[in-house]
Structure 1
């Protein structure tokens, strides 16, 4: 798993959210969200902005930095 995907999972867990809860907030199915964490689905800019707000990072770029 590359750094970006690991960071997505790390931030989700740090905020105490399950994959199900994260998927719901992103208007995705759980399967669709799991694909994001596994890297088989690309994170769009729009989705990155939503994730940024949910997990409480200041900038979208913070999602892209390695942990």
Structure 2
């Protein structure tokens, strides 16, 4: 398995989700989620909140930086 290129990809992989599964949970296409994960599209507050809940994180900041 290749090393994750982003924090979002890392979180997805350690939670054993495919991009399609995350995209479905967020109500978007897999292609658009790929763009968010790869930094080609912006992560909105609404999507960040949904990802925080999906990954059971304490803070939205944990989506973009290592937990301290």
TM over 0.5: yes
Equivalenced residue count is 63
| Divergent runs of 4+, >6 A | none
Higher relative contact order structure (alpha carbons within 8 Å, sequence separation ≥ 6): 1
Structure with the greater alpha carbon radius of gyration:
2
**TM-score, structure 1 as length reference:** 0.86
Higher helix share: 1
Runs of at least 5 residues in structure 1 that lack an aligned partner in the other structure: none
Runs of at least 5 residues in structure 2 that lack an aligned partner in the other structure: none
In the alignment, the residues of structure 2 paired with residue 56 and residue 7 of structure 1 have an alpha-carbon distance, to the nearest angstrom, of 15
Q: Secondary structure of the equivalent of 1:65? A: coil
**TM-score, structure 2 as length reference:** 0.85
